Amino acid sequence: MNNNTVTEKKKRIFSAIQPSGTITLGNYIGALQNWVKLQDDHECIYAVADLHAITVRQDPKAFRQNILNAYALFLACGVDTEKSIFFIQSHVHTHAELAWILNCYTQFGELSRMTQFKDKSAKHADNVNAGLFTYPSLMAADILLYQADLVPIGADQKQHLELTRNIAERFNGIYGNTFRVPEGYIPQVGARVMSLQDPKKKMSKSDENVNAWVGITDSPETIMKKFKRAVTDSEARVCVGEGKDGINNLIGIMSAVTGKTNDEITAEFEGKGYGDFKTKVGEAVVEKLRPIRESFEKYVADKAYLEEQYRKGAEIAEKISIRTLDKAKKKIGYLPR
């Protein structure tokens, strides 16, 4: 066979996002936009992480709608069920089963060092449940079930991925090669979008100041209003620099939604004021999000189509993941049914 005709096997990627009710511009630029790009040259497996979501109390009716909305929204952003496997986590029983097994190969000390557990315990002091503590073992199960090569991560998830690697290596060390040890994949552009009101903090929908974050289904008027109110500095010069957190953030957002480099943006706004720049960033974001909002409304109105897609995704995900679960159970010594 001619070497030129040999195609390199695509690397497998796994990623999941919780159905929080609102996906922010930060979620889109940091994760979803990259999910879409990765589909072309990777084998992608994506999930709506609804099992993870119940560490915080959920209203059942709102939760059900949030799960459906999240699935529709990811499709609207460009997740393609012809290219990727895309499912709802709670529809695939192997996740919870492997999570219990991995709990028994995760050390108490490792879990107690997780900064996210400390942060969330402080935030939800009245509900510090065991799931909040063992959450990283479920995350490890999500990834290891699919023998993922790569996991797209933000800076705040490095610790969880490191733990996943440790668990996989520990299990493999005891029982022989069972799980692929995944690598982190950190996107080059737009990995971290900051608050529009406090640019030292990550953009988050839990921010009490509604002007701090932009939802990707926000109306154009709302988006423009939030960008016009964005915090800047007193220098009135559009360029990346120290002490210019607000402008640095806006330039990063502009770059992520238009594809222009920081230098191109700086040159374009040479001699122009912040008011003009904030308006242009807002307009660029509105145009980027417009087709997503329109597609989302179309998908949400077609429940039969959504159901067909998430059922198909769950069936494929279960077939793949059950092979890994069965392999792990056999190595441990469980009797097959």
Domain count, the chain: 2
Give tens-digit pLDDT for 73-111: 999 999 999 999 999 999 999 999 999 999 999 999 899
Rg (CA), the chain: 21
CATH number at residue 57: 3.40.50.620
Do 165 and 89 fall within a single domain? yes
Considering 11, 83, 205, 331, which one is annotated as catalytic? 205
Structure-model confidence comparison of residues 177 and 33, the more confident one: 177
Do 110 and 37 fall within a single domain? yes
Do 133 and 102 fall within a single domain? yes
> How does the average pLDDT of the chain come out, rounded?
91
Pinpoint the alpha helices (H) of 48-202: 60-77, 94-103, 108-112, 115-123, 130-144, 158-175
pLDDT band per the 50, 70, 90 thresholds, residue 188:
low
For 185, the 3-state DSSP assignment is: strand
Do 312 and 179 fall within a single domain? yes
Q: Are 164 and 110 in contact (CB under 8 A)?
A: no
Give tens-digit pLDDT for 222-276: 999 999 999 998 888 899 888 899 999 999 999 999 999 999 999 999 989 899 9
Give, in order, the Cα–Cα distances in Å from 188 to each of 38, 142, 178. 12, 24, 31
Do 272 and 181 fall within a single domain? no
Do 216 and 311 fall within a single domain? no
C-alpha angle 247/249/250, rounded to 5°?
Answer: 65
Q: Which residue range(s) make up the domain with 282?
A: 210-298
End-to-end CA separation in angstroms for the chain = 44
Which residue has 């109105």 as its token pair?
Answer: 301
Phi, psi of 194 (to 5 degrees): -100, 165
Considering 83, 118, 200, 202, which one is annotated as catalytic? 202
- 202 catalytic? Reply is yes
- 61 catalytic? Reply is no
Burial class (CB within 10 angstroms; exposed 0-12, middle 13-18, buried 19+) of 83: middle
What secondary structure does DSSP assign to 259-313, as a single string? ---HHHHHHHTTT--HHHHHHHHHHHHHHHHHHHHHHHHHHHT-HHHHHHHHHHH
Q: What is the structure's pLDDT at 187?
A: 67
Q: Residue 47 belongs to what H/E stretch? A: strand 43-48
CATH number at residue 246: 1.10.240.10
CA–CA separation, 145 vs 143, rounded Å?
A: 6
Give tens-digit pLDDT for 277-336: 999 999 999 999 999 999 999 999 999 999 999 999 999 999 999 999 999 999 999 999
- Evaluate whether residue 3 is within a structural domain: no
Do 57 and 175 fall within a single domain? yes
Do 22 and 165 fall within a single domain? yes
Do 15 and 131 fall within a single domain? yes
- 37 catalytic? Reply is no
Q: What is the structure's pLDDT at 5?
A: 47
For 48, the 3-state DSSP assignment is: strand
Encode burial over 117-126: b for 16+ CB neighbours within 10 A, e otherwise.
beebeeeeee
Do 114 and 242 fall within a single domain? no
Give tens-digit pLDDT for 112-126: 888 877 777 777 778
Considering 11, 61, 118, 120, which one is annotated as catalytic? 120
pTM: 0.88
Q: Are 139 and 160 in contact (CB under 8 A)?
A: yes
Do 21 and 156 fall within a single domain? yes
